[in-house]
Amino acid sequence: MDEKRQKRISMLSLALGIALLPPIWAVLAPYIGVSTGAVALICAGLYVTNGNKRCDAFKIAVGFLLGDLWAVCAIWIMEKLPFHPDAELYVTLFVLGGLAVIIGESFAKYIFLPAWLCGWAIGLTIMGPLPVAELHTLPVQIGAAMLAGVVYVGIGVDAFQKWVTGLVRGHE
């Protein structure tokens, strides 16, 4: 099979995988209590950017979940600090950002630091406007969407694409 045809099959199988699998998550997420379903697409994007490396899926998932936890911690800290909101934001991001890098790099075998930082940004974007008392299950919903992004969308679409590509090549 020539390279041009191979690229076309790869592109079309990816398009089919993206068209088929993520919408299933988008439809089902609210039925399982996850209102933050789109987070899965962001997290899948980081998984894919890392090269679809299944060997890194665990540490990417850990990084995202730590980012989710870090967002809750940041919101809680900023509520407790008695300073101007801009100063609270700066100090909180300074301390937690520095700690995330030190911890993430010290345990790089288990934590993918870019996922931690990305997960933290996702969590702050969604939960930042709310006080801790109003978060309820939001951190759990975000965490579930993060895991769905890595496992279902990231690994799932990659496996689907490889399966379809294999079928097409097997019929030639």
170: confidence class by pLDDT, cuts 50, 70, 90: confident
Look-up of token digits 């690994």? 155
Instruction: Give the chain's end-to-end CA distance (angstroms, integer).
Output: 9
Per-residue pLDDT reduced to its tens digit, 6-33: 999 999 999 999 999 999 999 999 999 9
Structure-block tokens of residue 172: 């030639």
pLDDT tier for residue 2 given thresholds of 50, 70 and 90 = confident
Q: Is pLDDT at 169 greater than 90 in this prediction? A: no
Reply yes or no on whether the pLDDT at 95 is more than 70.
yes
Read off the pLDDT of residues 124-136 as tens digits, 9 standing for 90 and up. Answer: 999 999 999 999 9
Report yes or no: 13 and 165 within 8 Å, Cβ to Cβ. Answer: yes
